[in-house]
């Protein structure tokens, strides 16, 4: 999902930690709203006041013939035309529906950046059994160990009726992404002139389906992760194994690295929080839009807002796009991403007194229909907006589930960006691959690299 400099290997991290304030499970009466005025995942079922955000009617149905080898997932909304385009010239007109980072991007790149706004399609959907697990989580899930872990959670969003910013963030960190997945992805950190080198890796993940009590070591795995670097050539063959903990206070993330040059396996150093990643353009805890421990911040639930966010980015993901079609100087090709008006949860992270991080404040905007973070703004310790991130997602409707097809992080000061999780030139994701926890051991790490 993200990369450090390849000399240190790519690290993916999505640990689950929470702030100290705890809340009780919601009432039976509240849970009964799921599937009625609230969707099975807890979003508002009804349309907004003027109908520009429609009612949720189930999202995309499962399609067995979802993937066209030539283009990838077929775009179910290919016939849609942009309603309008937001540019630096008219941005003030739409200020109330843009984040600080979105406005800053338009100001930073007035001649080359724009946002094409399309009709809103509430396409998010999940398997029926996942909806059942989410409903059970609403009654059973709770925070433990001062919020550093959770208990009684089936692997899906634990708090469909969240009571705090912390619970909203847990929903992102524990959102359903299948049981197992194998994928090849590409990333790049373009120079200011647009020159770039593609890095590629293949990774396999096994998600824990039952987090019984993350205050105990035997119930504290979120997922297992194995990554093999394919390119660039100088680091091809390096591999990384992670045992990602739910509660990293009880059990810090465990990692092992196989060096192809040294032909040996060694433990990885502790990498977390604001450790630089992506050639110094992002931080480790910016992977997957946010990952890792939440303990250095106070988390405030600002509420729900109607914001223009990246959504239904099937055209962006099309395999007819080469990476050279996507990656441009300063930012991605603005002709490719699709933006829609959606209700999002707005969560603000404020650095606690005495804690250290390069970001003093962070604002996250999460899709109400999936709890995927769609955009984030990061402020430095002088309260200056420093970086803006966007996640371009689709519904992988052969599953179905919502996940990324590309994540971009823009350094507004340096005028550079990183782009990751691209698979336009790669084979399709494989969900449900036959792997078990025994396949994610240090002994298996070298075997995977040699193969």
* 149-178 per-position pLDDT tens digit: 888 998 899 999 999 999 999 999 999 999
For the cut 50, the answer to whether the pLDDT of residue 2 exceeds it is no
The CA distance from 176 to 157, in Å, is 7
Q: What is the pLDDT, as a whole number, of residue 13?
A: 34
Within a domain: 10: no
> Which residues, including other chains, have CB under 8 Å from residue 194's CB and lie 6 or more apart?
327, 328, 329, 330
12 pLDDT band, cuts 50/70/90, is: very low
The CA distance from 192 to 169, in Å, is 33
Q: What is the pLDDT, as a whole number, of residue 448?
A: 72
Residue whose tokens read 């096994």? 206
Within a domain: 373: yes
Question: Phi then psi for 315, rounded to 5 degrees?
Answer: -65, -40
Q: Are 70 and 424 in contact (CB under 8 A)?
A: no
418 pLDDT band, cuts 50/70/90, is: very high
Q: What is the pLDDT, as a whole number, of residue 231?
A: 96
The CA distance from 299 to 162, in Å, is 13
Within a domain: 152: yes
Q: What is the pLDDT, as a whole number, of residue 439?
A: 95
> Which residues, including other chains, have CB under 8 Å from residue 201's CB and lie 6 or more apart?
3, 10, 184, 185, 227, 228, 229, 230
Beta strands at 149-154 and 180-188: parallel, antiparallel or unpaired: unpaired
Q: What is the pLDDT, as a whole number, of residue 144?
A: 81
**Domain encompassing residue 443:** 28-449
Q: What is the mean pLDDT of residues 233-258?
A: 88
Q: What is the pLDDT, as a whole number, of residue 183?
A: 97
Q: Percentage of the chain with pLDDT > 70?
A: 92
For the cut 50, the answer to whether the pLDDT of residue 17 exceeds it is no
Within a domain: 18: no
Within a domain: 20: no
Q: What is the pLDDT, as a whole number, of residue 24?
A: 52
The CA distance from 116 to 338, in Å, is 6
119 pLDDT band, cuts 50/70/90, is: very high
Tell me the chain's radius of gyration from C-alpha atoms: 21
Within a domain: 350: yes
The CA distance from 127 to 307, in Å, is 27
Is this prediction's pTM over 0.85?
A: yes
217 pLDDT band, cuts 50/70/90, is: low
The CA distance from 344 to 302, in Å, is 11
Within a domain: 174: yes
Cα dihedral 390→8→252→223 (10° resolution)? 60
Within a domain: 7: no
For the cut 80, the answer to whether the pLDDT of residue 214 exceeds it is no
The pLDDT tens digits of the residues spanning 329-364 come to 999 999 999 999 999 999 999 999 999 999 999 999
For the cut 60, the answer to whether the pLDDT of residue 38 exceeds it is yes
The number of domains in the chain is: 1
Whole-angstrom CA distances from 346 to 56, 114, 115, 340, 363 are: 20, 23, 20, 16, 7
Q: Percentage of the chain with pLDDT > 90?
A: 77
The pLDDT tens digits of the residues spanning 379-406 come to 999 999 999 999 999 999 999 999 999 9
For the cut 80, the answer to whether the pLDDT of residue 319 exceeds it is yes
The mean pLDDT of the chain is 91
3-state SS, one letter per residue, for the chain: CCCCCHHHCCCCCCCECCCCCCCCCCCHHHHCCECCCECCCCCECCCCCCCCCCCCCCCCCCCCCCEECCCEECCCCCCCCCCEEECCCCHHHHHHHCCHHHHHHHHHCCCCCCEEECCCCCCCCCCHHHHHHHHHHHHHCEEEHHHCEEEEEECCCCCCCCCCHHHHHHHHHCCCCCCEEEEEEEEECCCCCCCCCCEEEEEEEEECCEEEECCCHHHCEEEEEEEEEEECHHHCCCEEEEEEECCCCCCCCEEEEEECCCCEEEECCCCCCCCEECCCCEEHHHHHHCCECCCCEEEEEEEEEEEEEECCCHHHHCCCCCHHHHECCCCECCCCCCEEEEEEEEEEEEECCCCCCCCCEEEEEEECCCCCEEEEEEECCCCCEEEEEEEEEEECCCCCCEEEEEEEEEECCCCEEEEEEECCCCCCCEECCCCCHHHCCHHHHHHHHHC
Q: What is the pLDDT, as a whole number, of residue 449?
A: 65
For the domain that residue 282 is a member of, what is the CATH number? 2.50.20.10
Lowest mean pLDDT among 56-70, 181-195, 312-326: 56-70
Take residue 92 and report the two structure tokens written for it.
């003030």
For the cut 60, the answer to whether the pLDDT of residue 218 exceeds it is no
The CA distance from 352 to 297, in Å, is 5
For the cut 60, the answer to whether the pLDDT of residue 255 exceeds it is yes
Q: What is the pLDDT, as a whole number, of residue 59?
A: 99
């Amino acid at each position: 999902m993200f990369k450090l400099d390849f000399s240190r290997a790519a690290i993916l991290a999505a640990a689950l930690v929470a702030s100290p304030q705890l809340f009780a499970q919601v009432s039976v009466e509240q849970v009964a709203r799921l599937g009625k005025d609230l969707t099975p995942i807890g979003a508002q079922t009804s349309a907004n006041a003027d109908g520009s955000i429609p009612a949720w009617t189930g999202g995309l149905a499962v399609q067995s013939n979802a993937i066209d080898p030539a283009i990838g997932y077929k775009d179910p909304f290919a016939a849609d035309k942009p309603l309008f385009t937001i540019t630096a010239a008219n941005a003030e007109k739409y200020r109330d529906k843009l984040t600080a980072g979105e406005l800053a991007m338009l100001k930073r790149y007035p001649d080359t950046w724009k946002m094409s706004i399309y009709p809103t399609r509430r396409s998010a959907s999940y398997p029926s059994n996942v909806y059942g697990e989410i409903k059970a989580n609403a009654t059973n899930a709770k925070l433990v160990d001062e919020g550093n872990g959770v208990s009684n959670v089936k692997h899906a969003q634990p708090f469909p009726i969240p009571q705090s910013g912390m619970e909203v963030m847990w929903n992102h960190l524990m959102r359903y992404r299948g049981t197992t997945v194998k994928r090849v992805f590409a990333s790049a950190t373009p120079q200011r002139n647009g020159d770039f080198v593609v890095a590629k890796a293949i990774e396999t993940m096994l998600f824990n389906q039952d987090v019984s009590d993350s205050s105990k070591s035997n119930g504290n795995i979120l997922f297992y992760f194995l990554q093999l670097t394919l390119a660039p050539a100088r680091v091809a063959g390096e591999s990384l194994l992670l045992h990602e903990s739910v509660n990293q206070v009880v059990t810090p993330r465990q990692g092992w690295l196989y060096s192809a040059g040294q032909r040996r396996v060694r433990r990885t150093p502790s990498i977390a929080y604001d450790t630089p990643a992506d050639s110094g353009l992002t931080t480790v805890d910016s992977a997957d839009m946010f990952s890792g421990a939440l303990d250095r911040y106070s988390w405030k639930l600002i509420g729900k807002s109607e914001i223009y966010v990246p959504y239904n980015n099937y055209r962006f993901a099309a395999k007819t796009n080469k990476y050279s079609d996507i990656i441009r100087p300063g930012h991605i090709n603005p002709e490719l991403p699709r933006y829609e008006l959606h209700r999002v949860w707005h969560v603000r992270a404020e650095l606690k007194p005495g804690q250290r991080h390069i970001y003093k404040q962070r604002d996250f905007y999460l899709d109400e229909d999936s709890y995927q973070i769609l955009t984030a703004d990061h402020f430095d310790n002088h309260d200056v907006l420093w970086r803006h991130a966007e996640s371009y997602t689709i519904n992988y409707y052969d599953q179905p589930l919502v996940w990324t097809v590309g994540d971009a992080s823009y350094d507004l000061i340096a005028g550079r960006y990183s782009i990751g999780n691209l698979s336009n030139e790669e084979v399709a994701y494989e969900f449900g691959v036959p792997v078990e926890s025994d396949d994610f051991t240090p002994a298996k790490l070298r075997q995977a690299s040699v193969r």
